[in-house]
Structure 1
């Protein structure tokens, strides 16, 4: 079941209809309300949720005007978490809601607001959890919003149905509202969020073209290398895609085994399950694996060295999955498979997962719960 988090900034956009050029700040929002402005964020949220009625979704949200009301009016029976002071919600509530939903492991957070809301989400969870904005603010400078509420719902529906949707980093920007009210636009960069983009692939890889495939592997390797962290141990799984990463780093690789690297050096080669447990004890660790072409397995085929104990220690959030889009496309929509030998762990690893498919290019794809 797709687990969707929902957050609504109930005062988003309230200053627009009364020409206040924004709604940031309690004073501005209250002034807008005193001038007769009517909040529209919940209505726009209902428009987005309309595309999701009848789909297999578990919806988590905050109470009342921060999501519960919209969800119930749209026909959902949401799981309500957290607490608010009705009519007195703030940016702090938005941040707490985002953190709580990320901690609950939702597949996506759908949020309604404007650039200020996007800033709050970014500050609270960074790019740890995919998000998508329902445009409800006065100003939308950030690239994390769908073009309309309906479009937001359609993108989420694609994810729920298991279609491939590109996952991309998009900028969060906000303007100085005081300057804006004086006719000056000063947009500032506040970070990036992971956002599913409408459509299937943004780019396609030709089948049967070795040169093209090698270029894609080079791009994947470059992305991985750029994001490697110091003093972190990387378990490098088996397969030719992971081998391309090792080649890029200039390190020996065990094609059908599991290696361990740290700070650009090979510190363990063709390791056993026990050796992996010993060498990662008490050390921050990432796991780099790929997809078995045609089958879709990511755990349990050719990498049994990755024991359930190790996988639990590493954690789902520290699994780095790499694959070319041609390999994913060859699955023809079939989900990825985890066969760890532990049914509870298989369940924990199920759901949407991010796959690096190129340089600063990734997609979301589903892992089956089998």
Structure 2
């Protein structure tokens, strides 16, 4: 098996600092203190691949797009593609922001080498770039989720799952590559656009595409808001996650929710709007509750679209999950992908999900 590994080193950097993506925002993300997310995700996938398929033949790209991580996992790459080619000052480029053109250049070189599968690390934008490069070849692709936006169905559930799928798959199926306009996304408009259909290894531990629409949430929002109001004066801090379901709760509390952002509420007042991870941690008190709703169709509670809710935040909070019945009808189980495998394991198991003013439903986090 010959695997082509390419890493988008800037994927996901804008998430925890409240930028909802990194497209065109790398410098701002760095100024806000963002740290790379993709290398750690790649490292987890490559370490597992080395464990389950040590005989795999690996091609990769010059750093910062994969070489060091591949070697650290124990692989001796048979090919290291230079994504920067003859660009002027390529040594400087290698340490700065990479582009879609760098990704497609690497993947096309992989195809010339006859790789069996392209394993990429990034988000929906990276998926679209890889799909563009492999279009018409039939070569399968699989994503290690590392972006803020991970709506496409070409990703494994976790980095470790990606490695196991690559090591064991025997057939492929055609799946959707979705992407959204990040500027619209920052304004609260979520309109996934079909960018490509690509061959993807078949496995159970792949995620579904993002689905829109979830049925009525009015009575659910009213019930949760009533419960929050009943605790006013107790000093309970509510970390209200992104999305339309929790947005309805914010509106019921009487304030305009930040578009797809995280807002913090305590004792009848907004403590922080559109908060970053650092701002959320600073706003927490002695008793904290994070209110989140799973992504329809995928079932992710943490790890897709809400990276501000980091492991450090989650560990300081009780978790309250809310969802319409229609949304839960679209998912078989809930999922988490927090960047902390130990926390993922702690969160796993049966949980109550609030589905109405008073009603709950038991769902399993797997």
TM-score after normalising by structure 2:
0.51
| 1:86 pairs with 2:94 | yes
Q: Which has the larger radius of gyration?
A: 1
| 1:12 pairs with 2:20 | no
SS at match of 2:64: helix
| 1:123 pairs with 2:120 | no
| 1:106 pairs with 2:115 | yes
1:176-231 C-alpha deviation (Å, 9 max, x unpaired): 1111111111111111111002259xxxxxxxxxxxxxxxxxxxxxxxxxxxxxxx
1:133 positional shift: 0.3
Give the match for residue 155 of structure 1. 165
Q: Of 175, 178, 188, which aligns to 1:173?
A: 178
In 1, distance between residues paired with 2:141 and 2:113?
14
1:83 positional shift: 4.0
2:83, 2:105 within 8 Å by CA — same for their partners in 1?
no
In 2, distance between residues paired with 1:181 and 1:52?
35
In 1, distance between residues paired with 2:163 and 2:136?
21
1:29 positional shift: 1.2
1:79-118 C-alpha deviation (Å, 9 max, x unpaired): 3122433123211100101111011110001000000001
Give the match for residue 29 of structure 2. 32
Q: Equivalent residues in 2 for 1:134-145 (5 A)?
A: 134-145=144-155
In 2, distance between residues paired with 1:83 and 1:112?
15
2:83, 2:106 within 8 Å by CA — same for their partners in 1?
no
| 1:47 pairs with 2:52 | no
Give the match for residue 62 of structure 2. 63
TM-score after normalising by structure 1:
0.50
Q: For the aligned residues, what is the CA RMSD?
A: 1.5
1:22 positional shift: 0.6
In 2, distance between residues paired with 1:19 and 1:150?
27
In 1, distance between residues paired with 2:128 and 2:165?
21
List structure 1 runs of 4+ shifted beyond 3 angstroms: none
1:49, 1:71 within 8 Å by CA — same for their partners in 2?
yes
SS at match of 2:195: strand
In 2, distance between residues paired with 1:73 and 1:35?
29
1:337-359 C-alpha deviation (Å, 9 max, x unpaired): xxxxxxxxxxxxxxxxxxxxxxx
In 2, distance between residues paired with 1:73 and 1:30?
28
In 1, distance between residues paired with 2:39 and 2:107?
17
Give the match for residue 277 of structure 1. none
SS at match of 1:102: helix
1:127 positional shift: 4.8
SS at match of 1:172: strand
1:31 positional shift: 0.8
SS at match of 1:64: coil
| Unmatched runs of 5 consecutive residues or more in structure 2 | 85-92, 206-366
1:49 positional shift: 1.1
| Unmatched runs of 5 consecutive residues or more in structure 1 | 201-370
What is the aligned length? Answer: 192
Give the match for residue 234 of structure 1. none
1:175 positional shift: 0.9
In 2, distance between residues paired with 1:133 and 1:115?
9
1:115, 1:139 within 8 Å by CA — same for their partners in 2?
yes
1:169, 1:195 within 8 Å by CA — same for their partners in 2?
yes
2:124, 2:151 within 8 Å by CA — same for their partners in 1?
yes
Q: Equivalent residues in 2 for 1:305-344 (5 A)?
A: none
1:51, 1:157 within 8 Å by CA — same for their partners in 2?
no
Give the match for residue 341 of structure 1. none
